[in-house]
DNA sequence: CTACATACCTTGACAATCTGGGTAACCAGG
DNA sequence: CCTGGTTACCCAGATTGTCAAGGTATGTAG
């Protein structure tokens, strides 16, 4: 049986909204300190109360992408539970990128809200 | 010379942010009354102060999509400037869909903001 | 020795947007 | 006239990012 039943499904947002924001979310998550992939996904789900669910098939490609662009770097280590895990750390360039993307998102979100909340 | 010079380029948001929001933006634009495609694009650019630029290669496919789903319906007519133009009108189902998508976007945007603005 | 949770990863398909074209009609200037 | 700019429509192709759905392996609990 699936690990997520239909009843528990507290209306999650449409999948493809993430387009273009996933990078920023991951970078932000890593700004608290190094984390491994699985932990990133869990953290995002928790702190957004399940509004944002990151599929692993999206997350790992995103991590490789970010690494290739030198925004994060990886290092093998041990998770708190004693399993091997690849820890990702934000680079200096990554921190700058995060700043840029976060600002950009604010502008975008403000613009969309201005439209969607406009009246008569 | 192009109608938009580089200098005037007041930092526009990354293209792919639109993913998943374009439909809602178009539906909302039509909620004021029927409009033709070109006018929709211009209106969105104006009211968002150029933060949202809708490419026509995105807009028209979106309009067909929305029409096929019975959220809007089209009718040929004459623009204010005397040219033939296809006017799109929001259907009842489209209005419901707009409500749904707007709510959804609010939830999504709130979640992303919660993450991106979180501190230490 | 089974089941579950953790943790990684890949493949293939898809949906939506963008780029960069093109058509046509109207209008103004020269 | 005829050229160029604007309005207004449309399409083909490529790209991109995400998703769905799988699979591997290890540690822990029962």
Confidence label for B2 from pLDDT (cuts 50, 70 and 90) = very low
Phi-psi region of A100 (alpha: psi -120 to 50; beta: other; left: phi over 0): alpha
Q: Which residue is nearest to nucleotide C11 (CA to C1')?
A: A57
Confidence label for B50 from pLDDT (cuts 50, 70 and 90) = confident
pLDDT tens across B58-93, in order?
999 999 999 999 999 999 999 888 889 999 999 999
Inter-axis angle of helices B37-47 and B56-68, nearest 10: 120
Do residues B16 and A83 make contact, with C-beta atoms less than 8 angstroms apart? no
User: Is B39 within 7 A of strand C by CB distance?
Assistant: no
Q: Cα A120 to the chain's mean position, in Å?
A: 36
**Could you please report the per-residue DSSP string of B61-101?**
HHHHHHHHTTSEEEEEEE-TTS-EEEEEEE-HHHHHHHHHH
Query: Looking at beta carbons, which residues of chain A come within 8 Å of B28?
Result: 115-116, 118
**Could you please report the per-residue DSSP string of A72-117?**
EEEEEEE-TTS-EEEEEEE-HHHHHHHHHHHHHHHHHHHHHHHHHT
Mean pLDDT to the nearest integer, A24-52:
92
Query: Looking at beta carbons, which residues of chain A come within 8 Å of B13?
Result: 104-105, 107-108, 111
Mean pLDDT to the nearest integer, A106-115:
93
Distance (Å) of CA B65 to CA A13, B58, B73, B74: 20, 11, 11, 12
Q: On chain D, which bases lie within 7 A of the protein's CB atoms?
A: 5-13, 16-23, 26-28
pLDDT over threshold 50, residue A36: yes
Which among A116, A117, A119 is the top mutation candidate for probing chain B, defined by the most B β-carbons within 10 Å of its own β-carbon?
Answer: A116
User: Is A16 within 7 A of strand C by CB distance?
Assistant: yes
Query: Looking at beta carbons, which residues of chain A come within 8 Å of B111?
Result: 13, 48-49, 51-52
pLDDT over threshold 60, residue A110: yes
Given this model, what pLDDT does residue A12 score?
52
Confidence label for B4 from pLDDT (cuts 50, 70 and 90) = very low
Mean pLDDT to the nearest integer, A13-17:
66
Query: Lowest-pLDDT range, A1-5, A51-55, B76-80?
Result: A1-5
Positions 44-103 in B, CB within 7 angstroms of strand C: 54-58, 61-62, 65, 82-83
Query: Lowest-pLDDT range, A9-13, A60-64, B102-106?
Result: A9-13
DSSP code of B17? G
Given this model, what pLDDT does residue A43 score?
93
Query: Looking at beta carbons, which residues of chain A come within 8 Å of B20?
Result: 14-17, 19
Contact across the interface for A112 and B107, Cβ inside 8 Å: no
Q: What is the pTM of this model?
A: 0.86
Given this model, what pLDDT does residue A4 score?
35
Q: Which residue has the tokens 């799109």?
A: B88
B65 min Cα distance to partner chain A (Å): 16
User: Is B37 within 7 A of strand D by CB distance?
Assistant: yes
């Amino acid at each position: 049986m699936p690990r997520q039943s239909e009843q528990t499904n507290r209306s999650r947002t449409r999948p493809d909204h993430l387009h273009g924001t996933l990078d920023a979310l991951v970078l932000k998550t890593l700004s608290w300190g190094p984390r491994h992939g699985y932990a990133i996904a869990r953290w995002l789900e928790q702190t957004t109360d399940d509004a944002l669910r990151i599929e692993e098939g999206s997350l790992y490609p995103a991590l490789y992408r970010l690494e290739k662009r030198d925004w994060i770097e990886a290092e093998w280590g041990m998770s708190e539970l004693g399993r091997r895990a690849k820890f990702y750390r934000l680079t200096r360039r990554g921190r700058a990128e995060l700043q840029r993307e976060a600002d950009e998102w604010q502008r975008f979100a403000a613009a969309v809200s201005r439209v969607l909340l406009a009246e008569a």
